[in-house]
Amino acid sequence: MSKGRLHRIKDKKKLIHHYRIIPYSELAEILRKDGEAFFEDSVEQPLKRQTVWKAARRLSELLGRKVVAQRALLRTQNGEALEGYSFAVED
């Protein structure tokens, strides 16, 4: 089983919005600091929408603020597009 990878979002213009193992503690830490994080999806075993919805709900409970998730593409510096999910804290 392969794990997805977590990425910090430094330039929000490069992000296009569109219970396997999700690193909740790492994800929650990035959301506390930056307010938004990108979780790269695995091509072999993509996450189900229900799993992502439950992850956002669990993160909301951990942070005490509403967290939303959206399907997204993240463009890297070399022009590659990574598929995954954007998790963001709503204000």
Quick: pLDDT tens for 51-80.
899 999 999 999 999 999 999 999 989 989
Residue 30 forms part of a structural domain: yes
DSSP string, 34-76: HSEEEEEPPSSSPPPHHHHHHHHHHHHHHHTS-EEEEEEEEE-
Give the structural domain span for 64: 24-89
Residue 37 forms part of a structural domain: yes
Residue 91 has pLDDT above 90, yes or no: no
Residue 15 forms part of a structural domain: no
Residue 57 forms part of a structural domain: yes
Residue 15 contacts residue 9 (beta carbons within 8 Å): yes
Residue 9 forms part of a structural domain: no
Assign 1 a pLDDT band (cuts: 50, 70, 90).
Answer: low
CB atoms inside a 10 Å sphere around CB 5: 13
pLDDT at 2: 62
Whole-prediction pTM value? 0.73
pLDDT tens digit sequence for 5-46: 888 888 877 765 544 578 888 999 999 999 999 999 888 778
Provide the domain count of the chain: 1
30: tokens are 């990035």
Residue 79 forms part of a structural domain: yes
pLDDT at 19: 45
